[in-house]
Structure 1
Amino acid sequence: MHCHFTSPRWQASELPGGHGHLCGIAWRGAARLGPADLGELVDPAVDPGRWRARLADLNGFHALVRHDASALVAAVDRIRSIPLYYGVADGRLYLSDDADWVRRQVGEETMSEAACTDFALAGYVTGRDTLYRRVKQLLAGEALVARDTDTGLSISLERYYRFSHAEVPGRGDAERQAALGEVTEAAFRRLVEVADGRQIVVPLSGGHDSRLVATMLARLDYPRVLTYAYGHRGNREAEVSREVAARLGLAWTFVEYSETAWQAVAATRAYWDYQQWASGWHSIANMQDWLAVKRLTERGEVESGALFVPGHCCVTGFVPPALFAAERESRTLAAGELAEALRDRHFVLRQGEGSQACFHDQVLPRLAGSYPLDEALSADAFLQAFVLFGWQERQAKFIVNTVRSFEYFGHDWWMPLYDREFMAFWQHVPLRWLDGRQAYVAFVDREFAAVSGIDTPLGNAAQQSRRSLRARLTRLAAFRRGPGARVKRAVKRLVPGLARGNTLASGGRFPPETLERLRARGYSHNGVAAQLFLERFS
């Protein structure tokens, strides 16, 4: 068994008969663990049932490995914030935080066609697979156990945690709201302890998640906070971001995005090196923060050792409305509705009949082994499966993977809205609390009003931007090809607001002819990014 760790965040310790390795921070109760504590936490020589619950009790963001001469346990946290990859060749196990190192050890040169289909439609590869057939990834809340036996290498996978929904009855809304306030404050006090006086840097969008982060830091009177926004100058999200920071008394800065700025960095080797490294061969790199972190670092506004705190959050806002209607009417959802809901939410980087056929013919058979796609489901069962997919796939592999951009420029990070206790609270709320995130939004608005002293809700600027007339018109297929595309170009010359494109000016990341060709074929911007990644690295 061979281990290879590349991140400087790994700590190592000698254990009786072996070694312990810990990356990140792990708490068990109030005790912060070190690599020397892994001997009491997990033991590859005994039944995993004896230590599985201890892994589930951990808080923080971490990956851990304990091994001796003949056995190994490796685990990622409940959101897989620090990925681990593995592969087997010639009876040997290779384990690393570097997917490409594993690929080279197992001698894999050709990408899997099935995995490329996932990647092109969703932006990530589902399940334990990566783009390379013999390079695997641990899922969120999972541990790998490997043993050298008389008959050869034995590997098993132990799922110690799943983010599932099960309402706890007998609690009123007032009691739940009070409990939400308590777990939120506890999560942010843990953040303050981790920060330990360092500068905290908050990507402050126009939405509610990062607003809650900023609000809680202001409420706890943390002394060194920098918030920032980015995009084209004058965008609505940045305006709301600046207003939120001003009302909370927090420092704020802005990084201007333009197609020209993206074109300049897209021509550099670092741009592609980052994407290949951050992808882990399983996901497109989430690039929207990368340019801002680069600029802030170069400008010296982010201090050495700073802690970035994004608003990534476990409270989903993407549950299909049909589920809530079924719950109110006490009826089941028909067989096949879960498959369509997953497609409509997650496999949308390419549109059109060909993409739908590709999903049904190639993706669904792979998902059918893990999800009840051909069954009529109650509202609760439907929610369980839908939320499980969103947490295990999109959140853990794409959204949370944004933290790689902070690491790439030498910074630290923390995600308080994925705190263990905060997640546990939202696993047990009534279904109606998840309808449009209404209960969560109301909580954030109340907290913000209490700290800022201003009661007028600011809404969700990101959502408003997506629903604007300009955004809707520019997404229409009729404006992506032929005469419609020519009309759009003419209008952009006459109307400066349209010429700026989307808030992130991300069209500048791609060659203009390639962007227009792929957009005309139904690719989203992330779809274009996925396609160009596959073309470059396959």
Structure 2
Amino acid sequence: MSTSISTAIIPSKAQFANREAAHELHLEAICVFVATGFFLDQDSYWKDQVVLSPASKHTIDESGVLIDSKPWFTWHYSPRDISFEQALEEFTDLFERIIKEQTQGKTIILPLSGGLDSRTQAAAFKHLDTEVVSYSYEFENGYPETKIAEQLANTCGFEFTRDVIPKGYLWNQLDALANLNQCYSDFTSPRQMAVLDKFPKLGGDLFSLGHWGDVLFDDMRVPDALGFDQQVDHVLNKILKQGGLELAEGLWDTWGLDGGFYDYLRTRVTHLLAQIDIPQSANARIRAFKSLYWAPRWTSVNLAVFEAYKPISLPYYDDRMCQFICTIPEAYLKDRQLQIAYIKTRAPELARITWQDHRPFNLNNYRLNKFPYNTTYKVLDKLKRQFNALGGKPYVQRNWELQFLGSDNEQQLKAILNQNAFLEWIPKTMVDSLLTDFYKQPAPKTAHQVNMLLVLAKFREIDN
């Protein structure tokens, strides 16, 4: 007897099925993974295993083999002739209806940041008079973003807890994280893992997470008339991580795969992008690509960390929100206009609090974040960082700086990367060379390469 499964437009977790193929590693897919940080389309680590595509109805036989898939929704761009005010009114009604349906009768756990997505949620919860416990965290020796989050929470009357992401937490949490995300993501991006053991102290019944709002409610920073080949270039530029292409090409050659890696990746991206029938808007097509392939295969992967404690809700993932976006003119989505207008209308006091991406400005004056208006802040901020660095507190911007740098972290990392099972798969000469390059000059490029080696090493350990 066959089983029918319908997937959401943006699935919050991967669902796997089998296909008729040899049970062997999908090395081409793994090369894409190390280059981009996520598996593409239906790929998994194995040739005989696939992930069910979004927004589709799937038929699976009694042995778990995928028989058929048919889309029930396709991304489109059908902008209506409406005013911005009407679009804002519709967004307000839809967003608050989704929030209410997802959270009614629950005490909500709200992660707050200095950005817009969680601030938009905060405005809705404040308006709906929802009981909320909130929290935020920041990097040790990093920007104190919890100050902004605390201001937001206090303004809304939410309970608030702040935390610090400490140096070297990863090694005690690595096995648990690998089990949660099944090695389908790097290990330093889900920094919430650092505070997982503190979640029970928050109380609350349900997480409300703001993932993907920044993609749906913004443009893709390209001209709408951008040609198709240039759209492919743009997508490749966005998905390829610094250092990812070099690592993927090295593994491709090591494993003796046919052709060249970049040609393989470009061909696949070209094919997937061409299947999105939105010729009139490059921004809408690229947003659709990211929502089809990036959101479910990267953003969704580490939602499992939150679900390890409590159920989750995702207002921006709601099918109705995706359908709504397809009907809104790109001019209204550009530069987060709808979210900003919503916050300014529903909770103007939240709009007056610093927007982290445009600090020290807020939602009312962020357009002043340019020369000469931001010069004084930038100079003073740079001097403060330099002073702290002289005092032995270098400024931390990325989680890998806390988890990989320093002698203790280096020792832990090398112990994992020097396991025999891993070195039978990835040559020790390659591993040693990448580690040497990273510790000689730590940078996003070399950090990504080391990060992906760590994921592959844990995958190999679990697989064995």
TM range (shorter): 0.7 to 0.9
Structure with greater helix percent: 2
Contact 2:11 2:296 survives alignment (8 Å): yes
Q: Please say if 1:277 is aligned against 2:277.
A: no
Within-5 A mapping of 1:228-377: 228-232=135-139, 235-259=143-167, 263=168, 265-268=169-172, 270-279=173-182, 282-284=184-186, 286-297=189-200, 300-303=201-204, 306-316=205-215, 319-323=219-223, 327=224, 332-350=225-243, 360-372=262-274
Q: Secondary structure at the match of 2:336?
A: helix
Partner of 2:302: 402
Q: Please say if 1:426 is aligned against 2:340.
A: no
Q: Which amino acid aligns with 1:402?
A: N
TM-score normalised per structure 2? 0.75
The correspondence for 1:530, drawn from 431, 444, 452, is 452
Q: Secondary structure at the match of 1:155?
A: strand
Partner of 1:218: 126
Give CA-to-partner distance per residue, 1:442-480, whole Å, 9 cap, x none. Answer: 22233221xxxx275335314659x999xx99xxxxxxx
Q: Which amino acid aligns with 1:362?
A: Y
Structure with greater strand percent: 1
Partner of 1:25: none
Q: Please say if 1:84 is aligned against 2:15.
A: yes
Q: Please say if 1:131 is aligned against 2:56.
A: no
TM-score normalised per structure 1? 0.66
Contact 1:117 1:363 survives alignment (8 Å): no
Q: Please say if 1:183 is aligned against 2:94.
A: yes
- Using the TM superposition, give the Cα deviation of residue 89 of structure 1 relative to its aligned residue in structure 2, in angstroms: 5.9
Distance 1:227 1:526, change over 3 A: farther
Distance 1:399 1:455, change over 3 A: closer
Q: Please say if 1:166 is aligned against 2:68.
A: no
Long gaps (5+) in structure 1: 1-69, 91-105, 474-488
- Using the TM superposition, give the Cα deviation of residue 420 of structure 1 relative to its aligned residue in structure 2, in angstroms: 2.8
- Using the TM superposition, give the Cα deviation of residue 383 of structure 1 relative to its aligned residue in structure 2, in angstroms: 2.8
Q: CA RMSD in A?
A: 3.6
Partner of 1:501: 396
Within-5 A mapping of 1:4-43: none
Contact 1:236 1:461 survives alignment (8 Å): no
Distance 1:491 1:458, change over 3 A: closer
Distance 1:301 1:160, change over 3 A: same
Partner of 1:482: none
Within-5 A mapping of 1:371-390: 371-372=273-274, 379-380=280-281, 382-390=282-290
Residues paired across the two proteins, number: 400
CA distance in 2, matches of 1:524, 1:155: 41
Q: Which amino acid aligns with 1:399?
A: T
Q: Secondary structure at the match of 1:411?
A: coil
CA distance in 2, matches of 1:232, 1:282: 24
Contact 2:114 2:149 survives alignment (8 Å): yes
Greater RCO structure (CA 8 Å; 6+ sep): 2
Q: Please say if 1:121 is aligned against 2:35.
A: yes
Q: Secondary structure at the match of 1:523?
A: helix
CA distance in 1, matches of 2:279, 2:57: 31
Q: Which amino acid aligns with 1:221?
A: D
Long gaps (5+) in structure 2: 251-259, 361-368, 380-384, 411-434
Q: Secondary structure at the match of 1:393?
A: helix
Q: Secondary structure at the match of 1:158?
A: strand
Distance 1:82 1:218, change over 3 A: same
The correspondence for 2:338, drawn from 427, 439, 444, is 439
